[in-house]
Structure 1
Amino acid sequence: KRYYDLIGTLEVMKQVFRESVVDGFELQLQPEWDSENPPLTDTQFADWTKTPKYTIEEIRVLLEEQKLSILSVHSSRDIGSYLCSNQERNYEKGKSLIYEALFLANSLGAKVCVFHLWDTWKTRFDIHKLKKDFLNIAAQFAEIKASVENIPTHLEGVTPLSLVKLFDYVTLDIRWASLYNELNLFEPIISKVVNV
C-alpha cells in the first residue's frame, strides 16, 4: 500500500491489530489528503492528483468505524512549511492544521499529537511567534500532549534540540538526534519526551 492510501492503511492496521499484540497505532495525517493544496514537502504532485481527499471529520468517522486504538496522531508534515511561509494565508493554514490535528487526536482518544513545527530548510523564522501561536491552539486541548519533534533545522545558531526544549512536550526522533550528535543531550529533558 502507498503511504497516502488511507483505506489501504486502515486495512493493514486492522490486520496488524488482529494478529499481533500492539496496543494501538500512531495515525499520520498526510498532506496528500488535503483538497485545498498539494503537499508542500513532496515533489510527487501526481500522488496528490490521484489521492482521495478527506476532511478531518471524514477521517474521524472512518477511524471510529474501524474501532482502532489510536494512541497518537502525527500532524501533517506540511505544518512547518506553512508556519514559516512569508504569506499570511499560509501561516493561517498552518494554524488551522494544528487545530485539526489536535481536534482529531482528542476525538479519537489519543493522548499525544506530534508536530513538525518549522520548515527544515528555512534559515530565518520567528520561533517565539510559532511557540506562542502553537501553545495558544494547544491550550484548547489541554488533555492532549502537543509534542514538537526534533526535526532538522537550518536556522542559524540553533539545533533541533535547542528548539524542541522550548516546548512542554517533545517527540524524540532518534535518527535526527543521532545525525546531529544530540541523542545523549536529551537526557536532561527526558521528562518532556512523550513520544519516540
Structure 2
Amino acid sequence: MNKVYCSTGALIGQPNNRDYRLIRKYAKKLECDGFEFMMYSTWYGKEKEIIKELIDTGLSFPIMHCEKHIGEYLGKNEDGEYKTAKEKFEKNCIMAKSIGAKKMVMHLWDGTYSDKTFENNLKGYAEVLKIANQYNIDLLIENVVCNCSSPMIHWMELVKEYPDIHFIFDTKMAQFHNELELIYEEKNEYLWKKHIKHLHINDYAGGYKEWDKLKTLPIGVGNIDFYRFFSYIDQTQYNGDYTVEATAFSENGEVNCDMLNGCFKFIKKNKKNC
C-alpha cells in the first residue's frame, strides 16, 4: 500500500519559532502514515538534540527534506570544490540515517540565486550523490521553481547526464511554471516508470510564474485538477508515496490539523492502493 505523509514543514515555521518539539504535539491529531522531516538552516549545531527528539517521539520518518540552501551553494560553488555544499549535505545525510529515513528530497538549485549557473548544479549533483550513496539514501531531485529556465528543462538535462537519476514531483511547482500538462504527454511517460519516486501534493492558486502567489496551499484551494492528476498516475502504475506540504500554521503559529487531515483523506480516497 502507498503511504501518505505529512511534511514537518507544514507544521513548523517562523510563527512558532521553528520549534521541532511541536511535531510530537501535533502528530497525535494527524491521520497520516508518517512524516517527511524538513531540515532548516537555523538548526545546524542542534542535530544531536533534534535526532534524539525525533527518535523519542516514536514516529516514522521514512523520508527527509534536506536543507534547501545546499542547492544554492552548489550553484555558486564559490570554493571551487563544492566544499560547503558537500559538508552541509553530509550533515543532512547523517540525520536522515539516524532517524531511519531512506529517501532524501533535495532542491538542487534554490533561492534568489536559483538556476543562474545551472552548469554548476549539474556537475554538483554527482558530488552529493556520492555522499547519499555512502549512507544508502535514495536522493530525489525536486522540480523546484527557476528564475532563469524551467524545472522540466533541467530535469531533461539531468536525465541526459545521469540516466539513473531519481526525482520527486511537486504539483505546485509544476503548475507555477505551466508544466503540469507536460506530465500527461506520452513522450514523458518514461519519467513515471523510471525516475519519479515520490510526490509532493500541494495546490497553487496563481498563473504562470506569479511569484506573489507562490504559497503552498491545501488540495482544493487552488486551480490544480487533482481528479485528473490522480486518475493519470493510476494509469502510469506509479507505486510511490505522497507527502502533503500545505502550510498549516497561522500567523500566531497554531496548526490547522483538520485542513491537513482533509488533504490526507482526499489522496487516500482518490488514489488506488492508498
1:16 to 1:124, Cα distance in 2 relative to 1, 3 A = same
CA RMSD of aligned residues (A): 2.5
SS at match of 1:60: helix
Aligned residue in 2 for 1:125: 118
How far apart, in 1, do the equivalents of 2:52 and 2:33 lie? Answer: 20
Structure-to-structure mapping, 1:1-196, within 5 angstroms: 3-4=13-14, 5-6=17-18, 8-11=19-22, 13-34=23-44, 54-88=45-79, 91-120=82-111, 121=113, 122-126=115-119, 127-142=121-136, 144-155=137-148, 158-165=149-156, 166=158, 168-186=165-183, 187-188=188-189, 189-191=191-193, 192-196=195-199
The answer on whether the counterparts of 2:105 and 2:139 sit within 8 Å (CA) in structure 1 is yes
The answer on whether the counterparts of 1:112 and 1:194 sit within 8 Å (CA) in structure 2 is no
SS at match of 2:76: coil
How far apart, in 1, do the equivalents of 2:146 and 2:104 lie? Answer: 20
**1:82, distance to aligned residue in structure 2 (A):** 1.2
How far apart, in 1, do the equivalents of 2:57 and 2:71 lie? Answer: 30
The answer on whether the counterparts of 2:66 and 2:105 sit within 8 Å (CA) in structure 1 is yes
**1:86, distance to aligned residue in structure 2 (A):** 4.4
Q: What amino acid is the match of 2:192?
A: I
How far apart, in 1, do the equivalents of 2:109 and 2:98 lie? Answer: 25
TM-score, normalised to structure 1's length?
0.75
In structure 2, stretches of 5+ residues that fail to align are: 1-10, 200-274
**1:2, distance to aligned residue in structure 2 (A):** 5.6
How far apart, in 2, do the equivalents of 1:14 and 1:2 lie? Answer: 11
The answer on whether the counterparts of 1:149 and 1:173 sit within 8 Å (CA) in structure 2 is yes
How far apart, in 2, do the equivalents of 1:30 and 1:138 lie? Answer: 19
Percent of aligned pairs with the same amino acid: 26
1:97 to 1:9, Cα distance in 2 relative to 1, 3 A = same
Q: What amino acid is the match of 1:77?
A: K
How far apart, in 2, do the equivalents of 1:10 and 1:24 lie? Answer: 16
**1:27, distance to aligned residue in structure 2 (A):** 1.1
SS at match of 2:118: coil
TM-score, normalised to structure 2's length?
0.56
Q: What amino acid is the match of 1:29?
A: M
Q: What amino acid is the match of 1:180?
A: H
SS at match of 1:26: strand
How far apart, in 2, do the equivalents of 1:111 and 1:61 lie? Answer: 18
How far apart, in 2, do the equivalents of 1:2 and 1:105 lie? Answer: 18
The answer on whether the counterparts of 2:76 and 2:117 sit within 8 Å (CA) in structure 1 is no
In structure 1, stretches of 5+ residues that fail to align are: 35-53
The answer on whether the counterparts of 1:26 and 1:72 sit within 8 Å (CA) in structure 2 is yes
